């Protein structure tokens, strides 16, 4: 296995709108990030993935870009961005920018031209089709509810938008589109960025003919993922991008790839001829939803530890030595991890540390989402009017107004699943607006900020923040935490998730109690070792204790280094 800096890194994701507001307009900004760089340095992360900061009308908070080579005025200027990059580099932190090239904003000059006439030179930059029998060209549903097609009266055709109608999909079949994107990427790379997180990059190749999606329900529009996820020309496009751009720089590239299988991921990330460093897979994000594709956000079920083990084990084993995992439990599109996979009440701190241990001890690069290091939780706004996310708002109206669903049950799903759970402002201290802004925040702060905030965790040596710091240090100290192979032990256990990591003659044992109960545990007999030294734990533990047989407290997490022969 090749050694790479991006395998040895810990990435911290900043969602700039909600991170820190330096000028009191209620919106986080680049100067706000500059003011918090020492905080990131203190945590010990060495890469920042910055969600989009480009010019945008903000229909989808910056994922709808109207100018790829300029900064959104609410966030600052290109000069602020340069200063931020310089500040990061001086602190040994690399910057990964978000690359959103499956679609642009409808206010991007290319689309403004494209919609003017059928023979406009930019027409073919997007995916236009005539209607069929006075209806949309096919039955695909948009990720943000309704049809994925929008009729445009000017030229009397429909354009495809897999997300909002203000996010028309680019036509990657057009080589000119690809060249424009590659030259924009060179422009940022020459400015010194250290990589890209590629938004829904496995949606760029659509199946020719854009066939109708299979009908899985009575709904008029259906999820068309079969015909736009991992499409026929995806590898060709990405290999071209690699050859023309990526291979010329030493960068981290991570593809956001919903619906990806380990086989797809190996094709995308293998060391010989993969185009990308790693991809984000989504199987574990679907464990608490109805299994129909495209349903993760409008349904909720209870997840099972057996399923989490099965999914993560498959990804760990299949990619070992063949590709590279990126590990995450939350991001700006997902609920807060403690509320979802841990316990956001009595065991908030313990379960946050357990989940952090899990994330950092897997093989792959860990991604921390802002606020995770404080143990931030989901939010329960009473009224739909307090939500800002287009996906949440559209889903609410579709379910309540079109499908007649009980608004209370829809709000319950929103409380558990809305993307706004992750987007409430970063909680810096217990002052007004959690210290995020001196003005009125663009979205309300989570009322629990008086208890959960950065000032508190910085001051408490036993906090989640200091625990994360230690986890990050462990990765820097022991190469086997990074490169070791993963092996699941106690596969049938209903409360304990335990695994080993093995690298040359070094072995780690990770034991995680994913429950609120005390669990008495007997280690498998074939886990032979002569001694075990405790590297990290989230409860006080007697280091001399023998680990063949022991009791774990609720959400207890321990990592041991094992010495001596064994599996």
Q: Is 100 in the site for ligand NOJ (CB under 6 A)?
A: yes
Q: How far is the CB of 72 from ligand NOJ (least distance, A)?
A: 15
Q: Does 514 bind ligand NOJ (CB under 6 A)?
A: no
Could you say whether residue 389 binds ligand NOJ (CB under 6 A)? no
Tell the residue number behind the tokens 């580099």, with chain if given.
Answer: 89
Closest CA relative to residue 254, chosen from 324, 176, 166, 331: 324
Question: Least distance (Å) from ligand NOJ to the CB of residue 441?
Answer: 19
The residue number whose beta carbon is nearest to ligand NOJ equals 63
Q: 163, 227, 328, 347: which one contacts ligand NOJ (CB under 6 A)? A: 163
Active site residues: 199, 256
Distance CA 112, CA 299 (A): 37
537 touches ligand NOJ (CB under 6 A): no
Written as six digits, the tokens of 555 are 């959400």
Q: Is 372 in the site for ligand NOJ (CB under 6 A)?
A: no
What's the sign of the alpha-carbon dihedral 51, 54, 55, 56?
A: negative
Of residues 169 through 208, those in contact with ligand NOJ by CB under 6 A are 199-200
Among 19, 63, 125, 555, contact with ligand NOJ (rule: CB under 6 A): 63
Contacts of 368 (CB under 8 A, 6+ apart): 10, 11, 12, 13, 43, 45, 359, 468
CA angle 265, 266, 269 (to 5 degrees): 80
Of the pair 197, 507, the CB lying nearest ligand NOJ is at: 197
Q: Considering the rule CB under 6 A, would residue 333 count as an interface residue with ligand NOJ?
A: yes
| CB of 199 or CB of 556, closer to ligand NOJ | 199
| 373 binding ligand NOJ? (CB under 6 A) | no
- Closer residue to ligand NOJ, CB minimum distance, 335 or 484: 335
Q: Report the nearest approach of ligand NOJ to the CB of residue 194 (Å).
A: 20
Kindly report the three-state secondary structure assignment for every residue of 189-210. Answer: HHCCCCEEEECCHHHCCCCCCC
Number of residues lying near ligand NOJ (CB under 6 A): 9
Question: In the range 239-298, which residues lie near ligand NOJ by CB under 6 A?
Answer: 256
Q: Which of 60, 283, 288, 350 binds ligand NOJ (CB under 6 A)?
A: 60
Which single residue is written with the structure tokens 């009908």? 215
Q: What is the 8-class DSSP label of residue 398?
A: I
Contact between 29 and ligand NOJ per CB under 6 A: no
106 touches ligand NOJ by CB under 6 A: no
430-468: buried (b, 16+ CB within 10 Å) or exposed (e) per residue?
A: eeebbbbbeeebbbbbbebbeebbbebbbeeeebbbbbb
Under 8 Å CB-to-CB from 492, ≥6 apart: which residues?
Answer: none
Tell me which residues touch ligand NOJ (CB under 6 A). Answer: 60, 63, 100, 163, 199-200, 256, 332-333
């Amino acid at each position: 296995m090749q050694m790479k800096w991006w395998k040895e890194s810990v990435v911290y994701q900043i969602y700039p709108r909600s991170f820190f507001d330096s000028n009191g307009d209620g919106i986080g900004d680049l100067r706000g990030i500059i003011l918090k760089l020492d905080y990131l340095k203190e945590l010990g992360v060495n890469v920042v993935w910055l969600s989009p900061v480009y010019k945008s009308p903000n229909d989808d908070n910056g994922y709808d870009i109207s100018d790829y080579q300029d900064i959104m005025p609410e966030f600052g200027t290109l000069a602020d961005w340069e200063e931020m990059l310089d500040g990061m580099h001086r602190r040994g932190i690399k910057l990964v920018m978000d690359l959103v090239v499956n679609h642009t904003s409808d206010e991007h000059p290319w689309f403004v031209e494209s919609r003017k006439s059928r023979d406009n030179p930019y027409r073919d930059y997007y995916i236009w089709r005539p209607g069929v029998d006075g209806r949309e060209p096919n039955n695909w549903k948009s990720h943000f509810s309704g049809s994925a097609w929008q009729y445009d009266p000017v030229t009397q055709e429909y354009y495809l938008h897999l997300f909002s109608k203000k996010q028309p999909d680019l036509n990657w079949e057009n080589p000119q589109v690809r060249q424009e994107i590659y030259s924009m990427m060179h422009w940022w790379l020459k400015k010194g960025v250290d990589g890209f997180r590629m938004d829904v990059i496995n949606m760029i190749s659509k199946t020719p003919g854009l066939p109708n999606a299979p009908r899985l329900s009575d709904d008029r529009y259906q999820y068309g993922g079969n015909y736009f996820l991992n499409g026929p020309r995806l590898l060709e496009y990405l290999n071209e991008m690699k050859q023309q751009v990526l291979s010329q720089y030493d960068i981290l590239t991570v593809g956001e790839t919903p619906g990806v299988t380990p086989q797809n991921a190996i094709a995308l990330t293998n060391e010989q001829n993969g185009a990308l460093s790693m991809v984000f897979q989504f199987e574990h994000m679907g464990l608490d939803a109805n299994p129909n594709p495209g349903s993760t956000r409008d349904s909720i079920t209870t997840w099972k530890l057996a399923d989490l083990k099965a999914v993560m084990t498959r990804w760990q084993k299949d990619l070992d030595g063949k590709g590279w995992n990126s590990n995450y439990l939350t991001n700006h599109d997902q609920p807060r991890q403690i509320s979802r996979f841990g316990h956001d009440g009595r065991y908030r701190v313990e379960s946050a540390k357990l989940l952090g241990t899990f994330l950092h001890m897997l093989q792959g690069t860990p991604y921390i989402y802002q606020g995770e290091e404080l143990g931030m939780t989901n939010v329960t706004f009473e009224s739909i009017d307090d939500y800002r996310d287009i996906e949440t708002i559209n889903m609410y109206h579709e379910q309540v107004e079109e499908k007649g669903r009980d608004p209370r049950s829809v709000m319950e799903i929103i409380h558990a699943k809305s993307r706004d759970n992750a987007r409430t402002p970063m909680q810096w201290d217990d002052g007004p607006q959690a210290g995020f802004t001196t003005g009125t925040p663009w979205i309300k702060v989570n009322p629990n900020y008086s208890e959960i905030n950065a000032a508190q965790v910085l001051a408490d040596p036993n906090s989640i923040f200091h625990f994360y710091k230690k986890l990050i240090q462990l990765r820097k100290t022991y190469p086997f935490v990074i490169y070791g192979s993963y092996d699941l032990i106690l596969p049938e256990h209903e409360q304990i998730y335990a695994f080993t990591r093995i690298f040359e003659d070094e072995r780690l044992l990770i034991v995680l109690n994913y429950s609120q109960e005390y669990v008495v545990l007997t280690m498998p007999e074939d886990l032979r070792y002569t001694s075990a030294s405790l590297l990290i734990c989230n409860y006080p533990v007697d280091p001399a204790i023998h680990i063949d047989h022991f009791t774990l407290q609720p959400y207890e997490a321990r990592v041991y280094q094992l010495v001596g022969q064994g599996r």
